Amino acid sequence: GAVVSQHPSRVICKSGTSVKIECRSLDFQATTMFWYRQFPKQSLMLMATSNEGSKATYEQGVEKDKFLINHASLTLSTLTVTSAHPEDSSFYICSASETVLPAQHFGDGTRLSIL
């Protein structure tokens, strides 16, 4: 089956640090990748849709200068949380979809803790 690798799985860092999260599709080409944020005991909130070679589309209320997304190849998208603060602490999950199938394949998530 389609595998999506997300790295790192956990990050603990000081306030003001920028953190980069990688999302890779290992055995398929992902023209579209999605970035979600999930708070404890809650559902996934879509942050942005990332298409290879073009600018990401951000959901309403998501600061694009705060959450930088790069989708430079068909197998890699990155999310950079710039100048992270404690309120950015959350579980971030990426997913990728193949061109034909509507199902999304998810990474294992990154737990970000800002002290």
Partner 1 sequence: SQQGEEDPQALSIQEGENATMNCSYKTSINNLQWYRQNSGRGLVHLILIRSNEREKHSGRLRVTLDTSKKSSSLLITASRAADTASYFCATDDTNQGGKLIFGQGTELSVKP
**Interacting residues toward partner 1 by CB under 8 A:** 4, 6, 32, 34, 41-46, 49, 91, 93, 95, 97, 102-109, 111
50: burial class by Cβ within 10 Å (0-12, 13-18, 19+)? Answer: buried
| In the complex, minimum distance from the CB of residue 103 to partner 1, in angstroms, rounded to a whole number | 5
Strands (E), the chain: 4-7, 10-13, 19-25, 32-38, 44-51, 57-58, 67-73, 76-81, 90-97, 105-106, 110-114
Rounded to whole angstroms, how far apart are CA atoms 100 and 33? 14
| In the complex, minimum distance from the CB of residue 109 to partner 1, in angstroms, rounded to a whole number | 5
Rounded to whole angstroms, how far apart are CA atoms 97 and 34? 8
| In the complex, minimum distance from the CB of residue 16 to partner 1, in angstroms, rounded to a whole number | 26
* Of 38 and 82, CB closest to partner 1: 38
* Of 34 and 67, CB closest to partner 1: 34
| In the complex, minimum distance from the CB of residue 73 to partner 1, in angstroms, rounded to a whole number | 21
Name the residue with tokens 């959350």.
90
* Of 15 and 42, CB closest to partner 1: 42
* Of 12 and 15, CB closest to partner 1: 12
